Structure 1
Amino acid sequence: MGLRNLHSLTPWWSATSGVQTYRVRRVALVVVHSVAAGERLLAAARAVEDEPGVQVVFTQPPGPADNRVVDFLAAADALTTPWECAVNERFDLVIAASPTSIGTLRGALLLLPEVSTRGEIVDHNGRRCIPALNGLLRQRADDFDAVVIGLPHDAAVAALRAASPNSGRCATVVGDPTYDHLLGALAHRDAYREQLGIPHDQRLGLVVSTRGPDSLLGRTPALLRRIAMDPPTRSDRLVCHLHPDVWVWHGRRQVLAWAGSVVRTKVRFLRPEQPWQVSAAAADYIVGDHGALTAYAAATGKAVYLASPVSAAIPNSLGEAVVRYGRVLDPAVPLAAQFDWTARPSAPVARRVTSVPGRSADLLRTECLRLLRITNSTRQVTDGR
């Protein structure tokens, strides 16, 4: 089907497409580049999807054919539209986590890029994206549609304004919905442990690895096997969450083959579309690396053990706060002798995760409604839904 035919199609959410049960006044398009980015985007969708007359539609831009986004959106029961149709429509609001490929989309834009533990604003591939943000703004220079860059911390807003005044003028603080989701999950810790089949006298350990050569799997690939063979306590239950891109780049079969039979028998691997917050809330301790999930766990006061020293932690960054908080495991010392956690203040970590903890849902909703030009809403939203 050519672009001309695609352009002539009437979207099924349009008022002219046929008989509608609900009257649609505004349409928001959520652009999901990856499963990891999708979690933040779902939080933004939740902020407005219960607003009467607002239809939320999801799409996947060009990218790896098997990046699990289709499975992620199916698990979320999301209404989707092909990218080829999306680029030929105008939307009231476009929400994305990365500036990649979205310059051709029309409508007000809310960008929600990730801020790494090093304090860098990155795209869905983990690459610094300030140049891409500048390029996107130049591409849209003749448009009248608003552009907002939502960041988790006022320090990130200040850093962007210093690095790029043009992009910085579009930046505002919207909180960290992923962290707020974990905060909400902690209130249901006992229920989650029961759901996972963890009795009161058993400990649950969560091993997390981000992507790339400096991750837990990249730098210390033998650690997972070591924990499986010699857990801190013999009765410990072990769960492992890998960054979704690990599965995408290598494939589930290969990752599990490299893990080995002992690990496959004793460790339960979460699938990318499964909510890791459930296991994190239920866990008694976390073994992680420099990634965001380790930082989130540390910010909530969990016992955090680092697989290896974090190289060149940036002063005053979230990564540095995690290094100061966690305990680095020594490969020459038995694990059982190292898992003797002493409670310590987690506030220095939490302060660097976001400057507005627990407020992301309200802030995202306010920003989305403003961009959608809805001024008479009476609905309220609660974080952690």
Structure 2
Amino acid sequence: MGLRNPHRLTPWWAAAGGVQTYGVRRVVLVVVHSVAAGERVLAAARAVEGLPGVQVVFTQSPGPADNRVADFLIGTDALTTPWERAALERFDLVIAASPTSVGTLRGALLLLPEVSTDGEIVDHNGRRCVPALNGLLRQRAVDPDTVVIGLPHDAAVAALQAASPGTRRHAVVIGDPAYDYLLDALAHRDAHRERLGVHRDQRLGIVLSTRGPDSLLGRSPALFGRIAADLPTSGDRLICHLHPDVWVRHGRRQVLAWAGPLVRARMRFLRLGQGWQVPIAAADYVVGDHGALTAYAAATGKPVYLANPVPSTAPDSLGEAVARYGRFLDPAVSLGAQFDWTARPSASVVRRVTSVPGRSADLLRTECLRLLRITDSARQTVDDL
């Protein structure tokens, strides 16, 4: 059956200069609000960008000029268009991780908000965004079937629908692409360790810190120095991943200056936008906090060590499950003596990360195809165009 175009191509694409090599029948706009949000929407872009006739274009939403989104987009090698131009055009599908600013964009809309470890549905700033979702749906009331809110598990869908009955027809389970990518990386763990330069007789530890004053870096900055001082003496390799907002708000130079020469010498800090799934997959143990990445590591069965109690843990939440799963570090005992736990995957943690592990790519693709009005994609070829 192939592609059927329900409307003209976007004026922007039709008016673009030069000669098109590929026949474009659909144009998808991916909105990037922040570097962290950009990492989320890239997964959705991968679900459709390989389809014949589908062109994916990225844009940066209005926001602080120094949020490093422009650098992130350069690193993706993606085609980009200015927000001012995107706001004037019509697209076949708009994908975003946050409801902020996207309500006026024209085209079907796939929203992929984050679910915090407390179970809150949050925007790109980590703030509760149910009121913003309600406002966006009111803007789209004329054509409600063209808005989908994709969430990682059934509990999040139920919670959103309970908090906002108006979202009932829009919220669907699409899984967690970031977690599924980590599962894929685990299947090639030995190869990843070799590429990272980890020898067979070495352990690899990864330190994970989310953003904010309750994060590992915010509450326990001295722990970085202690880890750097204690562990490399036994041959351990150390990698650190900080939430993108840490680099954006403070700058890499300043963060590394605060870390000190010993930490800089013995701990490798991943750069802004650098993938974290491969290092976590390769790691032997994890030192983390209440952030999502620590939860992902726990869901794969990595030994997780926590420096502080998880703040404001909601009952029956992912954060609570991670706190029960992990082990809290004892400041009076040598770290090397504490990092000796052989863990197993926790069904309780996995269930709170996603209710459909390993299925996000297929579910995302299905929703995108429906919103794009593409049928029989499995038999679609370039000749269909």
- What range is the shorter-chain TM-score in? over 0.9
Q: Does structure 2 conserve the Cα–Cα contact (< 8 Å) formed by 1:232 and 1:336? A: no
Superposed displacement of residue 375, structure 1:
0.9
Q: Call closer, same or farther: CA 1:347–1:79 in 2, change over 3 Å.
A: same
User: Matched residues, percent identical?
Assistant: 79
CA contact (8 A) 1:90 1:107 kept: yes
- Is residue 206–residue 238 contact of structure 2 (8 Å, CA) maintained in 1? yes
> C-alpha distance in 1, partners of 2:11/2:25?
16
Q: Secondary structure of 2:301's match?
A: coil
CA distance in 1, matches of 2:292, 2:16: 44
Amino acid at match of 1:237: R
Opposite residue 282 of structure 2, the aligned amino acid is: A
| Structure 2: distance between partners of 1:344 and 1:359 | 22
Tell me the CA shift for residue 89 of structure 1. 0.3
Query: Displacement, 1:347?
Result: 1.6
2: CA distance, partners of 1:289 / 1:204: 18
* Residues 173-322 of structure 1: pairs in structure 2 closer than 5 A: 173-231=173-231, 234-322=234-322
| Runs of 4+ more than 4 Å apart | 15-18
* 1:134 counterpart SS class: helix
The residue matched to 1:172 in structure 2 has which SS?
Answer: strand
Provide the C-alpha distance between the structure 2 equivalents of 1:379 and 1:127, rounded to a whole number of angstroms: 42
Looking at structure 2, the residues matched to 70 and 270 of structure 1 have their Cα atoms a distance apart, in angstroms, of 19
The answer on whether the counterparts of 1:98 and 1:112 sit within 8 Å (CA) in structure 2 is yes
Report the CA distance between 1:326 and its aligned residue.
Answer: 0.5
Residue of structure 2 equivalent to 1:367:
367
Alignment correspondent of 1:58 = 58
- C-alpha separation between the residues in 2 aligned to 1:279 and 1:156? 28
Indicate the SS of the match to 1:57.
Answer: strand
> TM (normalized to structure 1)?
0.93
Counterpart of 1:133 in structure 2 is: 133
| Map of 1:5 onto structure 2 | none
CA contact (8 A) 1:107 1:145 kept: no
Letter of the aligned partner of 2:296 in structure 1?
Answer: Y
Q: Is the 8 A contact 2:87 2:104 kept in 1?
A: yes
Relative to structure 2, which stretch is displaced further, 92-101 or 249-258?
249-258
Give 1:312 shift.
Answer: 3.1
CA shift, 1:10, in A, is 5.2
Corresponding pairs, count: 371
1:105 maps to 2:105: yes
Letter in 1 for 2:371: L
1:196, 1:306 → 2: CA distance? 24
Q: Bigger CA drift: 104-113 or 60-69?
A: 60-69
Matches within 5 A, 1:72-111: 72-111=72-111
Query: For residue 166 of structure 2, what is the amino acid of its counterpart?
Result: N
Distance between the aligned counterparts of 1:379 and 1:269, measured in 2? 45
Question: What do the CA deviations read for 1:56-83 (whole angstroms, capped 9, x no partner)?
Answer: 0000011121222222222211110000
Change in Cα spacing, 1:366 to 1:345, as seen in structure 2 (3 Å) is closer
- Residues 33-42 or 209-218, more deviating: 33-42
The CA deviation at 1:344 is: 4.0
Find the aligned partners of 1:110 and 1:48 in 2 and give their Cα distance: 12
RMSD: 1.6
- Correspondences of 1:348-359 after superposition (within 5 Å): 348-359=348-359
Match of 1:44? 44
1:104 offset after TM fit, Å? 1.7
Amino acid at match of 2:92: D
The letter for the 2-side match of 1:296 is Y
Amino acid at match of 2:112: L
| In structure 1, C-alpha distance between the alignment counterparts of 2:45 and 2:32, rounded to whole Å | 12
Equivalent residue letter for 1:36: A
Deviation at 1:18, TM superposition (A): 4.4
Deviation at 1:273, TM superposition (A): 1.6
1:15: Cα distance to partner? Answer: 7.0
- The answer on whether the counterparts of 1:120 and 1:128 sit within 8 Å (CA) in structure 2 is yes
TM-fit CA distance, 1:144: 6.0
Match of 1:383 in 2: none
The one of the two structures with greater contact order (alpha-carbon pairs below 8 A, sep at least 6) is 2
Number of the residue aligned with 2:24: 24
